[in-house]
Amino acid sequence: MRYSSTIIIAVLLFMACSSKGPEGTTTEQAKGGDIHADFQPSQAFKDYWYQGKAELNRFELTQGRYGQQRKGEAVMVFVTEDFFTDKQVKYEQGDESKTTSVLKLNFLRRFATGMYDYSMMSSIFTPVELAKYPRTLKVSTSSQDWCGHSYFQLNFRNDNYQLTGHSYFQDEVREDRSLKPALLEDEIWTRLRIAPNTLPTGEIKVIPGTMFDRLKHIELKPLKANARMEAYKGDVFSGNDLKVYKIFYKELNRTLAIVFEEAEPHRIQGWEETYKSGFGSDAREITTRGKRTNTVVTDYWTKNGLQDSTLRQKLGITGFD
């Protein structure tokens, strides 16, 4: 009888440890995956990110495209908001018990290639409760240029990322498929702001960034990569106690390095992304670079009057002026 009781208890414990959590993620995955299951946001994090304002960052952009470097501008808008975990949209009304707090990043890039221009934007929704929600729940990316536009979205459901997409390109006119879960390159930006020490290092699997995918038209899937976190020792980016998170994809021969402040709120100073750009004889290795120039913390959604246009000057925005 004691032996039977022991077996029953062991089975129950195993079921509890491997039971499905929110969005189909198991507790074992949370502990053994690419996050810390016991993570709790610090008081400094709460004081900064829950003050009812957004952090707006403007970057001087040098974008590699068609084998040449193009001048442009990038904007990162970080803000926390309540997010439905089932519908995977911003909470505005309804059952609040079905929501969680996310750190949202709206990441915009604008640059010109000769006569015409590009406008690209990604929205990334990463739960603050990393222990409960170990995967970023949603990423959506759109790209517009004078040839046409495309839209792609990743939703984390039932232990997989569901990819949907539409494009003006014939081979990409419609996509609807599942991807095995892996670290999203797109979520590195938000995870750095929440808890950089939870990012994985060593040999890992990463789903490349959706903006990179739009520019290179690769098949989006988890790829082998090498990641490392270290002190930043370069001279391109300045600041106190800077660190850099680097990822190298051998299959793509591509490196992404994001430089950020070690101290909270872990502001991103900039990034460098090196890979071969262009076609045929014009293709060559080139580096895309973004350097932070201005930061403003404000409730920008209330600043929509003509008199508020001076705030764009404070942020240093030049596009569409």
Under the banding of pLDDT at 50, 70 and 90, the label for residue 122 is very high
Under the banding of pLDDT at 50, 70 and 90, the label for residue 281 is confident
- pLDDT at residue 84 tops 80: yes
| pLDDT, mean over the chain | 89
- Measured distance CA(92)–CA(72) in Å, rounded: 34
- Measured distance CA(251)–CA(183) in Å, rounded: 17
Contacts of 266 (CB under 8 A, 6+ apart): 192, 193, 196, 260
Beta strands in the chain (DSSP E): 54-65, 68-84, 99-113, 116-127, 138-145, 148-157, 160-167, 174-179, 183-184, 202-207, 223-231, 242-249, 254-261, 268-277, 284-298
- Measured distance CA(213)–CA(207) in Å, rounded: 10
Tell me, what's the pLDDT at 298?
98
Find the helix or strand (DSSP H, E) in which 311 lies.
helix 310-315
For residue 194, the SS3 value is: helix
- Measured distance CA(245)–CA(257) in Å, rounded: 6
Residue type, 126: T
pLDDT more than 90, % of the chain? 79
Among residues 159, 247, 168, 153, the alpha carbon closest in space to that of 208 is found at 247
- pLDDT at residue 107 tops 80: yes
* 166, β-bridge pairs: 151, 174
Tell me, what's the pLDDT at 172?
82
- pLDDT at residue 187 tops 80: yes
Contacts of 276 (CB under 8 A, 6+ apart): 253, 283, 284, 285, 286
Q: What is the dihedral of CA 245, 251, 253, 259, to 10 degrees?
A: -10
Pairing status of strand 202-207 against strand 183-184: parallel
Tell me, what's the pLDDT at 283?
82
- Span 276-281, mean pLDDT? 84
Tell me, what's the pLDDT at 21?
39
- pLDDT at residue 44 tops 90: yes
Under the banding of pLDDT at 50, 70 and 90, the label for residue 113 is very high
Tell me, what's the pLDDT at 37?
63
46-64 residue pLDDT tens: 999 999 999 999 999 999 9
Prediction pTM value: 0.88
